[in-house]
Amino acid sequence: MSGASLRDLQLDRASRDPLWVQLSGVIRGAIQSGKLSADQALPSEAELIDRFGVSRTVVREALADLVQRGLIYKIRAKGSFVAPTRRDLGFIGSTLGSSDDLLAAGRSSATRVLSLGEGQADSAEAGALRIPEGAPVIRIRRLRSVDGTPALLVQTTLPKEPFSGLLKSNLENRSLYEHLRRHYGVAPVGADRWIQAVIPSDEETALLELPAGSPVLHIESIAWGADEIPFEYYRALHRTDEARFYLGIR
């Protein structure tokens, strides 16, 4: 492409800022102002060198900085492109459920219940919920889609008591946390969460509609209520190609 979107932008040779920092800032400003749109190709390295009168090293350092910031992506043998905006989700760092977080972010979501049944707590569930191994539990497996795209695959475990009524509840397209608040007077006041990158199984990959081998975030969570007793343990897989998570530290 031509450098039309960057035509009127200049670098300041008298500035103390390195040229690569300035070039990164110029392109970043063009992206944030909308002069460059999502998935639009950037000028080639050669075009950027000619347009701004800088070395190849300056251009590559600027582009590497933009990749690091998540503002552009590269495709081998094709060039650099503007990255689509990823909306920030905050439920990992809060007691909001994912559906409440999506609603607050102005996004639409739909939840499909894949399975709902009773079982016996395995060692991980027992340890998380502080119940004996083999104690009766309720397991719910759900697939949540965001703006029409499968995004979150989650298996939730709760002790059967006091939640036995869940076995007869319709949780399709409903917030589990809202249901627990309304029917059981239980709401999370705190949670511990662990996050790591994993490669999902073939079945999980198909449910999330991902290319084979795509990484996802594995989220493990233990939530407790006002009595400080754990009531929910879940393990989830979340796509990261269309969203990013926000954690605020104060």
Check whether 105 has a pLDDT greater than 50.
no
Check whether 2 has a pLDDT greater than 50.
no
Do 182 and 208 belong to one domain? yes
Q: Which range, of 46-50, 59-63, 72-76, 137-141, averages the lowest pLDDT?
A: 72-76
Give mean pLDDT, residues 164-184.
90
- 238-to-13, 46, 72, 191, 201 alpha-carbon distances in Å: 45, 38, 22, 18, 13
The 10 Å Cβ neighbour count of residue 248 is 7
Domain assignment present for 152: yes
Check whether 89 has a pLDDT greater than 80.
no
Cis peptide before 43 (omega within 30 of 0): no
The 10 Å Cβ neighbour count of residue 4 is 9
Do 62 and 155 belong to one domain? no
Domain that holds residue 118: 87-245
Q: Domains in the chain: how many in total?
A: 2
Do 144 and 237 belong to one domain? yes
Do 91 and 33 belong to one domain? no
Do 118 and 74 belong to one domain? no
Calpha distance 234→128 (Å, rounded): 9
pLDDT band, very low/low/confident/very high, at 59 (cuts 50, 70, 90): very high
Do 72 and 167 belong to one domain? no
Burial class of residue 214 (count of CB atoms within 10 Å of its CB; 0-12, 13-18, 19+) = middle
What average pLDDT is seen over the chain?
A: 85
Residue 88's SS3 state is strand
Last residue of a domain, one of 82, 113, 142: 82
Question: In the prediction, which pLDDT does 123 show?
Answer: 96
Do 38 and 99 belong to one domain? no
Check whether 98 has a pLDDT greater than 60.
no
b or e along 17-52 (b: 16 or more beta carbons within 10 Å of the residue's beta carbon)?
Answer: eebbbbbbbbbbebbeeebbeeeeebbeeebbeebb
pTM over 0.85: no
Encoded tokens for 147? 């703006």
The answer to whether the beta carbons of residues 6 and 27 sit under 8 Å apart is: yes
